[in-house]
Amino acid sequence: MINQSSILTDTFGRKHSYLRISLTEKCNLRCTYCMPADGVLLTPKNQLMTADEIFSIAEIFVNQGVTKIRLTGGEPLVRKDFSEISTQLAQLKVDLSLTTNGILIDKYLPVLKQNGIKSINLSLDTLQEEKFKTITLRNQFQKVKENLYLLINEGFNIKVNVVLIKGFNDNEIIDFIKLTQDLPITIRFIEFMPFSGNKWDTTKVVSYKEIVEQAETHFGINQIQKLPNEANFTARNFKVHHFKGNFGIISSITNPFCDSCNRIRLTADGKIKNCLFSNKENDLLTQFREGKSIEPIIAKTMQSKLQKRAGMNTHEEMNNPQNHFDNRSMIAIGG
Ligand code: SAM
Ligand code: SF4
């Protein structure tokens, strides 16, 4: 018998109140760390959640205790019915947020405002136009930059996600932190993570320690203030004294944060995942379409969540690319 009030609590006592919904496996960029160079096999449209299904499934999670929903992908804004989806979800009275590459932000600004989406994570891995093209295989740097400033000027709460890759953009760490001198944003450096087809290996990871050392060397150790960790944090945050914004480090590889994890993932094809690093997925959509209750599958998924990084407890296990090959690419999971 499942205790309904606790189906989102796992065997380690972690309460999962944050649902990340991937709206699509498609994207208008081709970031090489996120997807294989030859693309991903797209799920046929009739096997993807419709707007109504997204709403109904999300509502079930909210009834079970979810208070925060983030829309992601692929690129969530390439989904043609994004307005409809976000308008429906806004009725759920959850904290609704978005992760985007920023390209279509100007088009959707009124929809975001209307639906109370105030917190936006915008991905931008470099401040150099040519490098942007190298990493995303598209020429959209100026558009993303314009839309970043548009969001800031419109008063949105902005976190800029920067995936660091050794030898590629780790020489821009200081430039990114300098942006926070006058802009009220948080720059979040993300350690490069392994997924199917993204050519990951440990030598490409820029570690938490290296990022902090670079910042301390440049700004002076006494100028860097460590901020308290937020509840259910992923980023460990810092501030350079008198700067308007902050910077943070998401160190899933060298310094994970599994103890306070409260995240559940729902893929665009309606599969639930209890951990980003787990290759196990459980199908909610088929059960839902058959008119059956999905709560038992949600409960089973949460009960099987392992303590740390889907069971990869040691650095050796985590650093072995073989252990990540059968997990889907980030673009298909929903980051
Ligand atoms: N398209 C949107 C975007 O780029 O923000 C949302 C989806 S994207 C998969 C979500 C986040 O995952 C982005 O910030 C992206 O940088 C991050 N990401 C993708 N692949 C990654 C990897 N291999 N390691 C670390 N972060 C990754
Ligand atoms: Fe697209 Fe985002 Fe992945 Fe880049 S990181 S390919 S923008 S989904």
Smallest CA separation from ligand 1 atom 7, residue: 73
Q: What pLDDT score does 130 carry? A: 98
308 band by pLDDT with thresholds 50, 70 and 90: confident
Q: Please report the pLDDT score of residue 24 as a whole number.
A: 97
pLDDT of residue 87: 98
Q: What residues contact 98, with CB distance under 8 A and at least 6 apart?
A: 70, 71, 72, 76, 112, 117, 119, 120, 121
CB atoms within 10 A of CB 120: 21
Best CA proximity match to 26, nearest among 17, 14, 16, 35 = 35
Q: Quick check: CB of 71 below 6 Å from ligand 1?
A: no
Q: Is the CB of 49 under 6 A from ligand 2?
A: no
Segment 111-128 shows an average pLDDT of 98
Percent of the chain topping pLDDT 90: 80
Beta partners for 264?
19
d(CA 285, CA 288): 5
**How much is the pLDDT for 3?**
46
Residue 2 has pLDDT above 70, yes or no: no
Which residues sit opposite 273 in a β-bridge? 265
Task: Indicate which atom in ligand 2 lies nearest the CA of residue 27.
Answer: 1
Q: Residue 253: which of 277, 270, 273, 220 has the closest Cα?
A: 277
Identify the pLDDT of residue 316. Answer: 83
CA–CA separation, 329 and 282 (whole Å)? 17
228-249 mean pLDDT:
95
- How remote is the CA of residue 133 from the centroid of ligand 2, in Å? 13
Decide: helix, strand or coil at residue 316.
Answer: helix
pLDDT over 70 at 4, yes or no: no
- Cα separation of 335 and 333, whole Å? 6
Secondary structure letter of residue 313 according to DSSP: -
Largest CA distance in the chain: 60
Mean pLDDT for the stretch of residues 296-300? 98
Q: Is the pLDDT of residue 22 over 90?
A: yes
pLDDT per position as a tens digit, 77-100: 999 999 999 999 999 989 999 999
* Helix, strand, or coil (residue 21): strand
Least confident of 9-23, 45-59, 247-261: 247-261
Q: Ligand 2 center to residue 42 CA distance, Å?
A: 15
Residue 275 confidence class, pLDDT cut points 50, 70, 90: very high
- For residues 20-43, give the mean pLDDT: 93
pLDDT band at 210 (very low <50, low <70, confident <90, very high): very high
From the CA of 29, give the closest atom in ligand 1: 1
Rounded Cα distance between 173 and 214, Å, is 8
Residue 51, CA distances (Å) to 76, 219, 292 in order: 12, 47, 19
How far is ligand 1, taken at its centre, from the CA of residue 276, in Å? 12
Lowest mean pLDDT among 127-136, 146-155, 179-188, 323-332: 323-332
Q: Count CB-CB contacts under 10 A for residue 133.
A: 14
Percent of the chain with pLDDT over 70: 99
Residue nearest to atom 4 of ligand 2 (CA): 31
Among candidate residues 193, 197, 200, 204, the one with its CA nearest the CA of residue 38 = 197
Q: Are 2 and 110 in contact (CB under 8 A)?
A: no
pTM reported for the whole predicted model: 0.95
CA distance 246 to 33: 25
Residue 104 has pLDDT above 90, yes or no: yes
Cβ distance 161 to 154 under 8 Å?
no
- Atom number, ligand 2, closest to the C-alpha of residue 30: 6
Which atom of ligand 2 lies at the shortest distance from residue 136's CA?
4
Dihedral, CA of residue 292, residue 67, residue 329 and residue 146, to nearest 10: 130
pLDDT of residue 304: 95
Beta strands in 45-156 (DSSP E): 68-72, 95-100, 119-123
Confidence label for 5 from pLDDT (cuts 50, 70 and 90): low
Residue to probe by mutation, ligand 2, list 20, 26, 27, 28, most atoms within 8 Å of CB: 27
Q: Which residues make Cβ contacts (< 8 Å) with residue 41, sequence separation at least 6?
A: none
What is the average pLDDT value for the chain, to the nearest integer? 94
Q: What is the pLDDT of residues 145-179, one digit of tens each?
A: 999 999 999 999 999 999 999 999 999 999 999 99
Q: Is the pLDDT of residue 329 over 90?
A: no
In this structure, which ligand is nearest to the CA of 195? Answer: 1
Q: Which among 103, 161, 253 is the best mutation to test ligand 1's pocket, defined by most ligand atoms within 8 Å of the CB? A: 161
Assess whether the C-beta atom of 73 lies below 6 angstroms from ligand 2.
yes
Q: Is 189 in the pocket of ligand 1 (CB under 6 A)?
A: no
Q: Ligand 2 centroid to 209 CA: how many Å?
A: 26
Pocket test for ligand 2, best of 70, 99, 123, 190 (most atoms within 8 A of CB): 123
The order of strands in the sheet holding 68-72 is 224-226, 235-240, 246-250, 186-191, 157-164, 119-123, 95-100, 68-72, 18-22, 263-266, 271-273, 282-283
Ligand 1 proximity of 195 Cβ (cutoff 6 Å): yes
User: Ligand 2 centroid vs 74 CA: distance in angstroms?
Assistant: 6
Name every residue whose Cβ is closer than 8 Å to that of residue 259 and which is 6 or more positions away in sequence.
Answer: 14
Residue 216 has pLDDT above 90, yes or no: yes
Chain segment 252-262, per-residue pLDDT in tens = 888 888 999 99
From the CA of 72, give the closest atom in ligand 2: 8
CA distance 27 to 99: 13
Q: For residue 279, what pLDDT band results from cuts at 50, 70 and 90?
A: confident
**Would you state the pLDDT for residue 78?**
98
Mean pLDDT of 211-220: 98
pLDDT at 243: 98
pLDDT digits (tens, 9 = 90+) for 65-82: 999 999 999 999 999 999
Among protein residues, the one with the nearest Cα to ligand 1's atom 20 is: 34
| C-alpha of residue 73 to centroid of ligand 2, in Å | 8
